[in-house]
Amino acid sequence: MESVNLIESFSLFKEDKNIDRATLMSIIEDVFRTMLIKKYGSDKNFDIIVNPDKGDIEIYKNRTIVDDEFAEDSFDYDPNKHISLTDAHKIEPDFEIGEEVTELVKLDEIGRRNVLSVRQNLVQKILELEKTSIYNKYKERVGDIINAEVYQVWKKEIMLLDDEGNELLLPKTEQIPSDFFKKGDSVKAVVYKVELKNGTPSVIMSRTAPTFLERLFEMEVPEVFDGLITIKKIVREPGERAKVAVESYDDRIDPVGACVGMKGSRIHGIVRELKNENIDVINYTSNAQLLIQRSLSPAKVTSVKLNEDTKRAEVFLKPDQISLAIGKGGFNIKLAGKLTGYEIDVFRDNDEAVVDIDDVDLVEFSDEIEESVINALQAIGCDTAKSVLELDVADLVRRTGLTEDVIEDVKQVLQSEFED
């Protein structure tokens, strides 16, 4: 009965774990040899024949025939390696001294406890093999897009199942803020990293990594997939905005036009997948000034001054272009800085100042705002109320050297001027 259960387990493992024949045979043989060493002290004189397809397992013990006197009196006699001539003749009358006798070892002779131990060891070996297989498979697929099904939704992460039933994890931090999934949904994500935790592989997926956007471009734009267009760099603020610098080595191909497609046909699919994330495709250039101008799109830049030592760029724009350069939530200027590698400071172009009749000069607030604060703001080109309100707190703190509390107080004073 024990042998039947053991044989059934081999077939089940082969079917469920999709283990190839040679690997399964090797595992089964290793497990049995470990058991034989434990029971007999050695496995050298044993042959194991495994047929995993039928579930047949046969163990043969090979012993050398010795004369009866050696068997009875010699200290070198080992019943696991030797057999007396008398006992050999009981098996086959024609046997002679020095020949080998091969006998079939029944699983019942091994003992119930050893059989159970073999089964447990087999289960453990198969599980270890499965974990190693999953780890190696996904380690090679880091950066690839996987389509998986939502199996379970938790507060901090989602468990996905691939087409082979392997468990994948999509943490909340790797989801686009507007992502919402329920059990059974199909999810497209990129393999972000693969880790081993206590011997168990952990496959982390991501929808926020720049690589995810790069793979989507490869899927939607044949020229990118074929290598005719190269993606030089991608920066993202997931769910809000992304900037993609592209370059073509073929003068006949317009890289930006090819990526966007006719009437945006190619990029629309990517935008939908990213929950309406705005994507700016930029023609890459090694000219830093020109790249900064392009990266601040849709704003039109008047001029750019670079400081290569500090990696800072002073960008001058017309007053009506400043809000476009900064963008909603400051994402546009922040991503432009990441894309170009420069810290970008925005200034008004005073050569052609446009006066906003609704705007108010900062000096008008001298009764509510200290003179030193006004001077610090004017020093960075913010000489009106709206020019200050257009910049976020963090940017103003960095550029003026004022504290966050002071900036927030100033903004509150200025904002009250435009409230009904």
pLDDT digits (tens, 9 = 90+) for 187-229: 999 999 999 888 889 999 999 999 999 999 999 999 999 999 9
CATH number assigned to the domain covering 145-208: 2.40.50.140
CATH number assigned to the domain covering 355-418: 1.10.150
The full DSSP string for 328-380 is GGGHHHHHHHHHHTSEEEEEE-GGG----TT--BGGGGTTTS-HHHHHHHHHT
Higher pLDDT, 351 or 65: 65
| pLDDT band per the 50, 70, 90 thresholds, residue 4 | very low
Quick one: average pLDDT of 286-304?
Answer: 91
- Domain locations along the chain: 2-134, 145-208, 211-351, 355-418
Please state, in angstroms and as integers, the Cα–Cα distance from residue 358 to each residue in 48, 158, 321, 324, 369, following that order. 93, 50, 17, 19, 20
pLDDT of residue 268: 93
Residue percentage of the chain with pLDDT more than 70: 88
pLDDT of residue 204: 95
pLDDT of residue 151: 94
Architecture of the domain whose range is 2-134: 2-Layer Sandwich (3.30)
Closest by CA to 270, choosing from 220, 339, 199, is 220
pLDDT of residue 237: 93
Residue percentage of the chain with pLDDT more than 90: 39
Quick one: average pLDDT of 16-32?
Answer: 69
pLDDT digits (tens, 9 = 90+) for 45-98: 887 777 766 656 778 888 888 887 776 767 677 777 787 878 777 777 887 887
pTM of the model: 0.65
pLDDT of residue 8: 55
pLDDT of residue 92: 79
Rounded Cα gap, residues 352 and 349, in angstroms: 6
- Which residue type sits at 26? S
Superfamily name and number for 211-351: K homology (KH) domain (3.30.300.20)
